[in-house]
Amino acid sequence: MLLQESLKSQTKDDSRHLSDEYSLIRAVHTAVKGRARFKVKGLHGSQDLKRYIELRLLNIDIITQVSANHLTGNVLVVFRPNFSLKAIASLLQDIVLDYRRVSVNLSRIAEPDIQIIIPPQLDKLNTQVILAAATATTFAFSAGLLFKYGLDESILLGLQRLHNPLLDQMMQSITFLGEPLPFLLISSGLGSYLWRYNRHREATGLGIATVGAIGLNFLLKELFGRARPALWDYLVNAVHYSFPSGHAMVSTAVYGYIGYVLAKEFPQWRRPILAATMALILSIGFSRLYLGVHWPTDVLAGYAAGLLWLIACIVYVEKC
């Protein structure tokens, strides 16, 4: 078999370099010789690809055990210890590429009693980009309506009625999560982790999301020069211009990007991760209104701008 001959020609290689060479395969656990776990792009949610991988790998005599999990996107491979991790990764990458090339009419793989229907590949990224862009447009349109009908002040005065010492303390704590210092610390820590494991594009995307959002927000504030509300004394420090809200914009870009990375890493927990991310971002925006340091239109515009910047960063990671 040609695949087996190519495997035997491979030499030992450091698993930390696999992510640079194989765009569809990433080694996630390689501590035990002759045993490796890989994250396979496109496996999450695809039982057809799960069966295809298992059938193909089990037909190769150097591999003794295969377990693909379509719920986590992981593949466990047990193989002869004298073969390199790079050889197994190369084989797995070829199998995934073969799967993507086969037509929807493919009916049988390896065993005659198993029929596999291959669904056409859908460009999920384009759908997500369209949805996010539509959401950003909705935020911007809503901000325009609030400004047109002069509802900013009425909303803030309504929120002031909710003030009490406990909520004051809670909102100050939540709003701190939208300050530049937490953004930079969290981004530096996660970025270093991603870079260490050769996930360079994701690490670079996080840096662009963070620094770019902070810098772009500063420029927009200087451009519009809108004064902050002065309806009551502030409980937090707020000295720069008001529009758009930096907390709303940067938290959308940074925490949104982190949520995207975590959802890719743990696809089985995708919904809880995205729900928690949205709750955090919305809480930070609400805290700015509760504390009276932003107009509602500032926050909505911040969400719109942050979402557009987040889209740009994700497209960079997925397409570059």
Instruction: Identify the active-site residue in 17, 70, 200, 294.
Output: 294
Q: What are 52-102's pLDDT values in tens digits? A: 888 888 888 888 888 888 777 888 888 888 878 888 888 888 888 888 877
Instruction: Identify the active-site residue in 44, 70, 163, 247.
Output: 247
Of the candidate ranges 74-83, 134-143, 223-232, the one whose mean pLDDT is the lowest: 134-143
Give the integer Cα–Cα distance in Å for 251 and 180.
10
* Averaged pLDDT for residues 256-262: 92
* Averaged pLDDT for residues 11-16: 44
Amino acid 146: pLDDT:
66
Q: What are 164-186's pLDDT values in tens digits? A: 999 999 999 999 999 989 999 99
Amino acid 227: pLDDT:
87
Amino acid 320: pLDDT:
64
Active site residue 247: yes
Does the pLDDT at position 41 exceed 80? yes
Of the candidate ranges 9-13, 58-62, 239-243, the one whose mean pLDDT is the lowest: 9-13
Checking 132-138 for CB contacts under 8 A at 24+ apart, the result is 132/307, 132/310, 132/311, 133/307, 133/308, 133/311, 135/307, 136/303, 136/304, 136/305, 136/307, 136/308, 136/311, 137/304
Give the integer Cα–Cα distance in Å for 20 and 203.
13
Active site residue 44: no
Vertex 133 angle, CA 214 and 301, to 5°: 45
Does the pLDDT at position 151 exceed 70? yes
Q: Are 65 and 34 in contact (CB under 8 A)?
A: no
* Averaged pLDDT for residues 178-198: 90
Does the pLDDT at position 268 exceed 90? no
Amino acid 264: pLDDT:
83
* Averaged pLDDT for residues 109-122: 43
Does the pLDDT at position 123 exceed 80? no
Does the pLDDT at position 121 exceed 90? no
Share of the chain above pLDDT 90, in %: 28
* Confidence band of 127 (pLDDT split at 50, 70, 90): low
Domains of the chain are 13-103 (3.30.1360.10), 122-317 (1.20.144)
The mean pLDDT value of the chain amounts to 80
Q: How far is CA 306 from the centre of its chain?
A: 14
Give the integer Cα–Cα distance in Å for 86 and 66.
17
Amino acid 149: pLDDT:
58
